Structure 1
Amino acid sequence: MPAQSSPHALRPATPPSTSLRALLDLTGATSVAPLPAEVTVTGIEQRSTAVRPGDLFAALPGANAHGARFAADAIDRGAVAVFTDAAGAAQLGSVTVPVLVREEPRAVLGELSAEIYGHPSDRLRIVGITGTSGKTTTSYLVEAGLAAAGLSTGLIGTIETRIGGRRVPSALTTPEAPQLHAMFAAMVEQGVAAVVMEVSSHALALGRVDGVRFAVGAFTNLSQDHLDFHADFEDYFAAKRRLFDADSPVAARTAVICVDDEWGTRLAGDLTAPITVSTSAAGAERSAAAGSAASKHTVRGTAAWRVVGDVRTTGGEQEFTAVGPDGELTVRLRLPGRYNVANALLAVATCAAAGVDPRVTAPALATVDVPGRMQRVDRGQDFLAVVDYAHKPAAVESVVATMRGHLAEAGHGRLAVVVGAGGDRDAAKRPLMGAAAARGADLLIVTDDNPRTEDPAAIRAAVVAGAHELPDTERGEVREIGDRAAAIAAAVAWARAGDVVLVAGKGHEAGQEIEGVKHPFDDREVVAAALEALRTRHSPRTDSEDLTVS
């Protein structure tokens, strides 16, 4: 078997064998020619370069080309049949394998993939987490809770895929249906009992999670993002709610909803008996109002899970008291920020919904660090340097507020924020990000994020314009430095004892995409290098350093 070097290569070692005729019946497809009775399928792929012997090649229409163009390559690699639409069949010409034709083949791709791999999600306790912000952090926290209960776990998300402790970088937040069901089958083979996965709006809208049987679905929040893909907020929300809507084929059996924002409150009010979570009195009141407005919505008068009393913070770590159906418990976190309190409470409630005792979950959360999420970079400096993935206006606003809270707790210090905006994405959020960062920063440095195919200067100009929309009295200094490494170095050089340098936008990412080329770039490494350079400049020179060697 080829080396499993990417999420797309994660396949079961001994997949089931399914007759092609059974798949024809399942999909309602027609066959271009009579099917040979002996043809069986052991896998499915929509990328010809990843096809293995025994696969069904799904030749789907794409944004730039039809997959049927690559059918010959797929067949050369061992595809035993092609599944496509009428337009694809017309492009195939003469092929040596059976061809199954169905209009809108993507509509059944998830169920088809599940069938080919033996419906592996039926044998797993799958937790899906959706929302705009907090999916990754909540996923890591839930995984820790499930593992603490002795369950062998899998994780599928933005940063990585893990199966039995083996880590693989993720290509998509939620993989395409053929890869996803293959992963599940591999997990079942390796003894995994529970899987936590991020579920993006793209995945829900495009059917990537079709065929998955979710035990629990969790909702974090909703704010502006992906409006380059979704028509508007309502369309964005509609995609998210597919994970919970009883009429949806992917609806989770149990819904856990954070009602700290209006979208969570609205979602909870539309569902039958969701488990609600709130960190604020306002959220609890909204939850109660939703309950009284709809008799089908049972929330015990307030959120089923809530935070009571003050959140205690010490050196960036947090502790709070959570109240659930069975009483109070103390939750500790290594992660700063009020939004991480919400993520943690949602994780406790989600694990409980998955059958894990909250008294087991809570201690496990204190051990969790999340790559690129409020991640500290320490090289012995006398100020705090933090890298975070915040790349949406609401996320930037939250992380800036968290850092300002840290400074208020310390009683002194200034905040520098380094941020940019991605190219080929929702352009409307760029000025909003500039304003969100400038409002709380003593120094804002606008730089490049992932320009992709756009003009970096134009993207920066939009972010800077948003910052300058604020009155001078509501913002600090604003600089523009296109080179991201230089921008980070400038922020580090600016900092004094007790200050905070926040580098936002890319988090765990290890590359920067410019003009279609991804260059190696890791904010954490660049911050560390800038700190090392600063320490070197400020270190007293020794006699040996004055020597020159010829």
Structure 2
Amino acid sequence: MSGGTASEPARPRHSAGTGAGTLASELGARLTVPGTLEASAAAQQLTGVTLDSRGVQPGDLWCALPGANAHGADFADQAATRGAVLALTDEAGAGACERAGLPALVVEDARRDTARAAALIYGRPAEQLSTIGVTGTNGKTSVTTMIHRTLLELGRASGVVGTSGTSYRDGTGDEHLIGTVRTTPEAPELHGLLARMVEDGVQVCGMEISSHALVLHRADEVVVDVACFTNLSQDHLDFHPTMEDYFEAKSRLFTPEHSRRGVVCVDDEWGRRLAREATVPVTTYATLPGVEADHMAVDIRPDDYGSVFTVVGPDGPIAQRRLRAALPGRHYVANTLAASLLLEAIGVAGPEVDAALGTAGTVPGRMEPVALAPVRGIVDYSHTPDALEQALATLRSVPGTRRILCVMGAGGDRDRAKRPVMGEVAARLADVVIITDDNPRTEDPAAIRAAVREGIPAGSDAEVHVVDGRGNAIDLAASLADVGDTILVSGKGAETGQDIGGIVHPFDDRLHLRDALAARPGSGDPQPDGGH
């Protein structure tokens, strides 16, 4: 198979498009045409959509949206110069488009109508795929990646859109990788990606759908065949004023505007509430003892670095089957069960599917073993208090674990309230806590470290270090670790860069931890992961 690169465009190679007049009619838009005949502008064929004036291609609809600090229409001259044939904007942006000589469709809510326009121009690609949408504070990437890897193991043409970017295997077996910035891309990019997958023969696409995407209309005009809710815990309270608002945003996915049916984890009260309030048919699942659900994980047992468990279905003992989670911990039991139910919902089920899920269901940067002996080194994306608690509790339960050394921090320009909470969690569950830098972004790294440190009680039994520089912190953990210890490097997972002062510097926790463990005096080469 040939390998793809992140330079591939997030749009189809060919697009039949739609006429400007047809689009104006569909959106109920007012067409403004500076210095030309309206009939000529209405006859223009639109073959692509973009928000970025720098990425305009000839024949594009350019969407000029209001922003926090500026209006997209301020860049109308650049969009016109690059070949945009029409703009989509609101009343506030209409004047700038007119001055640039760019015909415009003027609507009341340009952000909402951007998604409608993209779906029309790209031929409603979401309707031509089997689609799965996953939302929740934690587990989105794990569930979508498990599904994708399982389908690839089964020889299916599959795609995945999410935190780690967009990748897919096409109908001829070639792999494609497209770099995307947001967990859920902006609507033109999302519909363009789906159209490209349709063009290349992809059968199934799994998507992470964030609360931001649901509020900001990024996921509009995509009605997934099945939606999944994994959990809800504190995060993104820099965007959502309250947990109630955060829940309300997530719950939008479980309405007919966004999904046809749902799969909901009821291990927490948020999930139980969603199962009651969803306006699409819902199937529930649970992993906690005493929690009733349509599908329950019971008899959970360790299996090397993973777990095996029994699923009790709605028909009771006669419907029982045994599944394997390729990664340890109850949360990966939940993720595996979710992936199984979602695959079943789109018609992919059977013993061969269960077997593939048990071996292929690993996720880069999620409880990923870098080394297993003499010191176990684990890299995990846990960047919320709940996820960090789950990761540490899971590692504590792995047989043979001696001490746990946790390298952790918190991201800048994000929810500040969770920083001391994460410090408290780390000190409660780890033996050694090394507080360092995550992605400081535009904030002072020392101030973020101090906020995390403030959450650790004065009487904590944990040995605490505060270290400037993520590489230095990982090196310290490796030097302090002894045979049988486990090092958890949390927060960034499979990320290959670190954002400091708005500049992304190359940095991969996995590579640095592997090198640090190999450099330990007398350690020899660390024993790698044995294939899980």
TM-score (norm 2): 0.92
Q: Does 1:141 align with 2:151?
A: no
* Residue 91 of structure 1: how far off its partner (Å): 2.4
* Residue 494 of structure 1: how far off its partner (Å): 0.8
* Residue 38 of structure 1: how far off its partner (Å): 2.8
* Residue 532 of structure 1: how far off its partner (Å): 2.1
Percent identity reads: 45
Question: Could you tell me which residue of structure 2 aligns to residue 307 of structure 1?
Answer: 297
Question: Could you tell me which residue of structure 1 aligns to residue 83 of structure 2?
Answer: 78
Q: Which amino acid aligns with 1:454?
A: E
CA change 1:404–1:49 in 2 (3 A) is: same
**Which structure 2 residues correspond to residues 246-261 of structure 1 after superposition, within 5 A?**
246=256, 249-250=257-258, 252-261=259-268
Query: Which of 352, 366, 387 is residue 373 of structure 1 equivalent to?
Result: 366
Query: Is the contact between residue 129 and residue 202 of structure 2 (CA under 8 Å) also seen in structure 1?
Result: yes
* Residue 6 of structure 1: how far off its partner (Å): 4.4
* Residue 147 of structure 1: how far off its partner (Å): 4.3
SS of equivalent to 2:163: coil
Higher alpha-carbon deviation: 349-358 or 224-233: 349-358
CA change 1:118–1:402 in 2 (3 A) is: same
1:431 and 1:94 mapped to 2: Cα distance? Answer: 51
Query: Is the contact between residue 148 and residue 360 of structure 1 (CA under 8 Å) also seen in structure 2?
Result: no
Q: Which amino acid aligns with 2:368?
A: Q
Q: Which amino acid aligns with 2:518?
A: E
Query: Is the contact between residue 503 and residue 523 of structure 1 (CA under 8 Å) also seen in structure 2?
Result: yes
Question: Could you tell me which residue of structure 2 aligns to residue 497 of structure 1?
Answer: 483
Higher alpha-carbon deviation: 205-214 or 264-273: 264-273
**Which structure 2 residues correspond to residues 28-43 of structure 1 after superposition, within 5 A?**
28-33=28-33, 34-36=38-40, 37-43=42-48
SS of equivalent to 2:70: coil
Question: Could you tell me which residue of structure 2 aligns to residue 396 of structure 1?
Answer: 388
CA change 1:522–1:280 in 2 (3 A) is: same
Q: Which amino acid aligns with 1:90?
A: G
Question: Could you tell me which residue of structure 2 aligns to residue 206 of structure 1?
Answer: 216
Query: Which of 424, 427, 441 is residue 416 of structure 2 equivalent to?
Result: 427
* Residue 325 of structure 1: how far off its partner (Å): 4.2
* Residue 334 of structure 1: how far off its partner (Å): 2.1
1:110 and 1:538 mapped to 2: Cα distance? Answer: 55
Q: Does 1:64 align with 2:52?
A: no
CA change 1:526–1:347 in 2 (3 A) is: same
Query: Is the contact between residue 8 and residue 178 of structure 2 (CA under 8 Å) also seen in structure 1?
Result: no
Query: Which of 262, 267, 271 is residue 269 of structure 2 equivalent to?
Result: 262
Query: Is the contact between residue 217 and residue 244 of structure 1 (CA under 8 Å) also seen in structure 2?
Result: yes
1:17 and 1:419 mapped to 2: Cα distance? Answer: 48
SS of equivalent to 1:221: coil
Question: Could you tell me which residue of structure 2 aligns to residue 21 of structure 1?
Answer: 21
Listed one character per residue, the Cα deviations across residues 263-285 of structure 1 (whole Å, up to 9, x for unaligned) are: 0000001135410001123321x
Question: Could you tell me which residue of structure 2 aligns to residue 292 of structure 1?
Answer: none
Question: Could you tell me which residue of structure 2 aligns to residue 329 of structure 1?
Answer: 321
Listed one character per residue, the Cα deviations across residues 22-61 of structure 1 (whole Å, up to 9, x for unaligned) are: 1111111101232414311001111011111100111111
2:351 and 2:205 mapped to 1: Cα distance? Answer: 20
Query: Which of 511, 526, 541 is residue 512 of structure 2 equivalent to?
Result: 526
CA change 1:479–1:96 in 2 (3 A) is: same
1:447 and 1:148 mapped to 2: Cα distance? Answer: 38
Q: Does 1:180 align with 2:190?
A: yes
* Residue 504 of structure 1: how far off its partner (Å): 0.3
Query: Is the contact between residue 396 and residue 433 of structure 1 (CA under 8 Å) also seen in structure 2?
Result: yes
SS of equivalent to 2:331: helix
1:185 and 1:485 mapped to 2: Cα distance? Answer: 41
CA change 1:202–1:181 in 2 (3 A) is: same
Query: Which of 241, 249, 254 is residue 239 of structure 1 equivalent to?
Result: 249
CA change 1:255–1:336 in 2 (3 A) is: same
Question: Could you tell me which residue of structure 1 aligns to residue 172 of structure 2?
Answer: none
1:253 and 1:229 mapped to 2: Cα distance? Answer: 27
Structure 2 gap segments, 5+ residues each: 170-174, 526-532
1:8 and 1:263 mapped to 2: Cα distance? Answer: 39
Query: Considering only aligned residues, what root-mean-square deviation do their CA atoms show, in Å?
Result: 1.9
Q: Does 1:317 align with 2:306?
A: yes
Q: Does 1:161 align with 2:166?
A: yes
Aligned length: 508
1:486 and 1:94 mapped to 2: Cα distance? Answer: 54
Q: Does 1:509 align with 2:502?
A: no
1:98 and 1:57 mapped to 2: Cα distance? Answer: 10
SS of equivalent to 1:436: helix
Listed one character per residue, the Cα deviations across residues 296-328 of structure 1 (whole Å, up to 9, x for unaligned) are: xxxxxxx1211122x221332211111224612
2:267 and 2:24 mapped to 1: Cα distance? Answer: 46
CA change 1:46–1:227 in 2 (3 A) is: same
TM-score (norm 1): 0.89
SS of equivalent to 1:10: coil
Q: Which amino acid aligns with 1:533?
A: A
Q: Does 1:348 align with 2:340?
A: yes
Query: Is the contact between residue 304 and residue 324 of structure 1 (CA under 8 Å) also seen in structure 2?
Result: yes
1:533 and 1:149 mapped to 2: Cα distance? Answer: 39
**Which structure 2 residues correspond to residues 82-231 of structure 1 after superposition, within 5 A?**
82-147=87-152, 151-164=156-169, 165-231=175-241
1:89 and 1:8 mapped to 2: Cα distance? Answer: 32
1:519 and 1:493 mapped to 2: Cα distance? Answer: 24
* Residue 367 of structure 1: how far off its partner (Å): 2.1
Query: Is the contact between residue 149 and residue 356 of structure 1 (CA under 8 Å) also seen in structure 2?
Result: no
1:539 and 1:388 mapped to 2: Cα distance? Answer: 24
Query: Which of 269, 282, 286 is residue 274 of structure 1 equivalent to?
Result: 282
1:181 and 1:238 mapped to 2: Cα distance? Answer: 24
* Residue 359 of structure 1: how far off its partner (Å): 2.7
Q: Does 1:467 align with 2:459?
A: no
Runs of 4+ more than 3 Å apart? 4-8, 144-151, 537-540
1:356 and 1:227 mapped to 2: Cα distance? Answer: 37
SS of equivalent to 1:319: strand
Query: Is the contact between residue 62 and residue 87 of structure 2 (CA under 8 Å) also seen in structure 1?
Result: yes
* Residue 8 of structure 1: how far off its partner (Å): 8.0
Question: Could you tell me which residue of structure 2 aligns to residue 287 of structure 1?
Answer: none
1:176 and 1:255 mapped to 2: Cα distance? Answer: 23
Listed one character per residue, the Cα deviations across residues 485-515 of structure 1 (whole Å, up to 9, x for unaligned) are: 1111111111111110000001111111111
* Residue 444 of structure 1: how far off its partner (Å): 0.4
Query: Is the contact between residue 374 and residue 523 of structure 2 (CA under 8 Å) also seen in structure 1?
Result: no
Query: Is the contact between residue 7 and residue 170 of structure 1 (CA under 8 Å) also seen in structure 2?
Result: no
Q: Does 1:447 align with 2:447?
A: no
2:106 and 2:53 mapped to 1: Cα distance? Answer: 18
1:167 and 1:91 mapped to 2: Cα distance? Answer: 36
2:415 and 2:8 mapped to 1: Cα distance? Answer: 28
Higher alpha-carbon deviation: 331-340 or 32-41: 32-41
